[in-house]
Amino acid sequence: MTGAEPRRDLVLLGGGHTHALALRMLAMKPAPATRITLVSDTDFAPYSGMLPGLVAGHYSFEDTHIDLRRFCSGRGIRFVRAAATGIDRKRRQLLLAGRPPLEYDLLSINIGAQPELVVPGAREHAVPVKPVGSFYQRWQALELRVRKGGQPRILLVGGGAGSVELALAMRFRLGNAADIGLLSGDSLLPGYNRRAVDIVRAHLATHRIELLENSRVTRVTEASVECGELSEYCDELIWCTGVVPVSWLADTGFDTDERGFLRVDDDLQVVGETGVFAAGDVAVQWQNPRPRAGVYAVRQAPVLAHNLAAALEGQPLRQHRPQRRFLSLLSLGGRVAVADRGVLSASGGWVWRWKDRIDRKFMAQFTEPAPPMRPAAADPEMHCGGCGAKLPAETLRQALANVADRHPGTINLKRLRDDAAVIDWPAKRLVQTVDTLREFLPDPWLMGRITALHALSDIYAMGAAPHSVQVNVCLPYAAPTLQRRELEQLLGGLAEELAAANCALVGGHSMEGPELSLGLAVNGSLTDGTSLAKSGAEIGDKLILTKPLGTGVVFAAAMGGNAPGQAIAGAIDSMLRSNRSAASLARQFGASACTDVTGFGLAGHLLEMLGKKQQAVLDEVPALPGVAALLQAGYRSSLHPGNLAALAELVLNRKNAMPADAFPPLLCDPQTSGGLLIAIHESSCAALLAELQSGGDPAAVIGELREAKGKHPRIVLG
């Protein structure tokens, strides 16, 4: 978010090369009063120029992929992980799979293209190179099979630069453990000069890669490729031919060419549209068409970044004039490459080192630390406190109405009109809890879901069933339209989890303030009259933890853009797992005590569970992916020191008193939507653990309760 009070939404769909570079430029010179959101169906955007090097083993996954979550974090850019399913032009909405539409004032599209699999049997039996993420997983599996033995025959379909580079990279990686062939529908490397093509032919022959030119594939079966009357046997077929646009583009009503790609003017704005831009493989500059190549996408970025900022301010747009010729550097498997430009060509190790420097320099732009956030400009408007801070009635009405349309059983608009909720109570005993979370994720839909699960967890941990909830929302200062959009996303995520829990939203309060926060007051019922209390654990009980730890440290690091995307994604996946099933199983198997692990960390909540003269002997405690490295690097939640101070006198190791600074920091890490900590008799432990794991809970036994020597409960580290 840039400026003091955002008044428009710039949404970028797709994390391709053009958008990644454009976002970097926009972050360096933020557009005022603009909220920027990047929507991508993957956390990691591959750099296509380094894919052959990744396959050959010259580079790691991290070397060749842009960590989009990490890049956006700390730069004031929202990141939304979602797959687009369409665009509503009239409502200016981006339609997303599994979540509410996202509205935009300005939209840019850079989603690339997908493989053209029109040949009969290709879709069922071929492995397309795009999307790169799924191809790389298939390649790793293939490499593992080859290493285990056998001599598979691998065929690559396509005679362009990508298929040539991949064939030679596979040969370099696999050595002589596979037979590799290349099928080119036409002549090899169309558009390259003769000398460069001769160099590539020589390398293919030297490395025993069979080349079949003018062999257009007409049919694919499980074990063969047919080229007219010719049939070639293969164990694995890699598809590196042309691409087509995603199918839903045809339904948008945007101007497209005969193949379905978006037609854009030289200012990169979709023909006939105002405020909709497109770049990269998804688009064609109809006045200056060029082949689909990464170099063109990269060169579009400065113009796109300028024009997005200019369009927001009503300023003139620049024209992009793509060059007619460009330098092409093809890697040849080992650390050798060939250069081609016009009639000139060269090859050798020095060309590969040249290409390597260019590629690494490109990727370094996305791994450098985020620039310091600029202080927000002074807000020209005064914002009232008290009831003057409430959201406008129309903003609230529109958001509630739109969410209620999608969740009519969870939100009853007529009941929400009254001053207070009237609840038809089904049980004799009421369980209530209150929880509030400040924004720690820049995606309000996820914030709504996680806050709901976090609050509902207290009800589940007591062995109760959720019944109804009241909500207290504080939205950041923004234009009313943006606040309405924010509220719809927030309540949409909240309603999704409440609906899954059969819990009704019966009332609440909304206001505006400096930052987003969401509080829930949840009512639950004990239908059988008994609760699953935090106390009650007995000597000899085993301790089961249903989720790994580490959400606190992950988002502490993420605040400065220092948490890897994989760590953030792992933490989100964990927080989105409900404790409903785990709590039900705990009651079913006769757990003696249960609590959910949240702000006070595992150690703090465990001490609340222990009785006098009880000590918990802990074994290894599981952590979320990437957490150990972040802890080693010194990242801690701001609540960590307070949690540690509260435990300093209550923790011992087996022999001597343990100084506070030596206590494992993971055990003091505050959790958001953490797992359950369950104490259960040893005789039932294995059965409960098996049921939890079979249901998908990553549960583990982390220790047991023993008799303590002193008067106070203790935690002992095994």
The CA distance from 561 to 565, in Å, is 10
| Nearest-angstrom CA–CA distance, 479 and 37 | 16
Give CB contacts under 8 A, 24+ apart, made by 481-484.
481/7, 482/6, 482/7, 482/8, 482/9, 482/35, 483/391, 483/392, 483/395, 483/512, 484/395, 484/398, 484/399
- As its CATH architecture, domain 114-242+327-369 has 3-Layer(bba) Sandwich (3.50)
Q: Is the peptide bond before 131 cis (omega within 30 degrees of 0)?
A: yes
In whole angstroms, what is the distance from residue 248 CA to residue 109 CA? 13
CATH (residue range 542-717): 3.90.650.10
DSSP per-residue letters across 489-512: HHHHHHHHHHHHTT-EEEEEEEEE
CB within 8 Å of 240: residues ≥ 6 apart: 129, 156, 157, 158, 160, 162, 163, 166
Q: CATH for 386-526?
A: 3.30.1330.10
227 carries an active-site annotation: no
- Which residue in this structure is represented by tokens 């959101």? 37
Q: Are 150 and 174 in contact (CB under 8 A)?
A: no
Within the chain, all domains assigned CATH 3.50.50.100 are found at: 114-242+327-369
Say which of 227, 240, 387, 503 is annotated catalytic.
387
List of residues 6+ apart from 528 with CB closer than 8 A: none
Identify whether the C-beta of residue 34 lies closer than 8 Å to the C-beta of residue 8.
yes
Judge: domain 8-41+82-113+245-325, CATH 3.40.50.12160. no
Q: What is the pLDDT of residues 429-466, one digit of tens each?
A: 888 999 999 999 999 999 999 999 999 999 999 999 99
Q: State the pLDDT at residue 378.
A: 39
Which tokens in the block code for residue 409?
């059983």
Phi and psi at 249, nearest 5°, equal -60, -30
Query: In the chain, which residues fall in CATH 3.30.1330.10?
Result: 386-526
Chain region(s) in the chain for CATH 3.90.650.10: 542-717
- Distance in angstroms (rounded) separating the CA atoms of residues 395 and 288: 45
Element (H, E) at 403: helix 393-406
The Cα–Cα gap between 305 and 483 comes to 26
pLDDT for the residue numbered 384: 56
The rounded distance, in Å, linking the Cα atoms of 702 and 621 is 6
> Three-state SS for 452?
helix
DSSP tag of 622: -
Structure tokens belonging to residue 484: 């309405």
* CB contact set of 565 (below 8 Å; sequence gap of 6+): 43, 44, 67, 68, 69, 70
pLDDT at 74: 75
Entry pTM: 0.90
Positions of the chain with pLDDT under 50: 1, 373-380, 389, 654-657
Q: What is the pLDDT of residues 606-629, one digit of tens each?
A: 988 988 888 899 999 999 999 999
Per-residue pLDDT at 376 = 41
Q: Comparing C-alpha atoms, which of 551, 644, 663 is closest to residue 596? A: 551
Instruction: Return the pLDDT at 554.
Output: 96
Most distant CA atoms of the chain, gap in Å:
87
Q: Taking CA 88 as the corner, what is the angle to CA 85 and CA 92, rounded to the nearest 5 degrees?
A: 120
Residues 6+ apart with CB under 8 A from 103: 9, 91, 92, 93, 94, 485
